[in-house]
Structure 1
Amino acid sequence: MRQSGTELATIRNFIAGLPGWGSGDIVIEPAIPILASPSWRGVDGFPWRATRKGGGDSIFIKAMDRDAELYIDVACAFEAAQRASDLGIGPKVLMADSDVGLLVMEDLNQGWRVGTLERMLEPDIVDAVIAAMRLFQSGPPLPRRKSVFDEIEHFYAAAAAAKAQLPSDAEWLVKELRFAADAFRSLDIAAAPIHGDGNVSNILISDAGEVRLIDWDRATTADPLEDIGSFLVEAYAQEPEARDVFTRSAGTFDEGAFNRARIYGVADDLRWGLIGALLAARSARNTLEFYKFASWRFVRCRMVVREPRFGEMLRRIA
Structure 2
Amino acid sequence: MITIEQAIEKTGMWTGRPARPERIASGITNVNWRICLDDTHETFFLKIHGPGTENLIDRELAHEATIKAAATGYAPQLLFYDEADGIEVYEFLHGFRSCNVIDLQHPTIRANILKAYKAIHSSQFMSRTKTGFDQLNDHLSRLKEIDAELPEDMDHILWQVSRARDAIQAAGMETCACFNDAYVYNYMVNDALDVKIIDWEYASGNDPYWDIAMFSFESVFIGENEIEQTLALYNGASDAATAARVYLYIGVACIVWGCWATYQSRTSSIPFDFGKYADILFLRGRAVMTVPEWDRALATV
> What's the TM-score bracket when you normalise by the shorter of the two chains?
over 0.9
State the Cα deviation string for residues 235-259 of structure 1 (Å, max 9, x = none): 1345133321222212112111011
When the two structures are superposed, what TM-score results if normalisation uses the length of structure 1? 0.89
| Alpha-carbon distance change, 301 to 179 in structure 1, aligned in 2, over 3 angstroms | same
2:280 maps to 1:296 = yes
2:107 maps to 1:107 = no
| Worse-superposed segment, 210-219 or 54-63 | 54-63
Ranges of 4+ aligned residues in structure 1 off by more than 6 Å: none
Q: How many residues are aligned here?
A: 300
Question: 1:27, CA displacement in angstroms?
Answer: 0.7
**CA distance in structure 2 between the partners assigned to 1:271 and 1:100 by the alignment:** 28
State the Cα deviation string for residues 72-112 of structure 1 (Å, max 9, x = none): 1112112211222222101121112233321110112x421
1:1-318 matches, within 5 Å, as: 3=1, 6-16=2-12, 18=13, 21-31=14-24, 33-34=25-26, 42-108=27-93, 110-239=94-223, 240-283=225-268, 285=269, 287-317=271-301
| Alpha-carbon distance change, 286 to 94 in structure 1, aligned in 2, over 3 angstroms | closer
Aligned identity (percent) is: 24
Partner SS state of residue 91, structure 1: coil
Partner SS state of residue 138, structure 1: helix
8 A contact 1:280–1:286 mirrored in 2: no
Which ranges in structure 2 are unaligned for 5 or more consecutive residues?
none
**CA distance in structure 1 between the partners assigned to 2:95 and 2:3 by the alignment:** 29
Opposite residue 152 of structure 2, the aligned amino acid is S
Question: 1:114, CA displacement in angstroms?
Answer: 0.9
User: What's the C-alpha RMSD, in Å, of the aligned pairs?
Assistant: 1.7
When the two structures are superposed, what TM-score results if normalisation uses the length of structure 2? 0.94
Opposite residue 174 of structure 2, the aligned amino acid is A
Opposite residue 268 of structure 1, the aligned amino acid is A
Which ranges in structure 1 are unaligned for 5 or more consecutive residues?
35-41
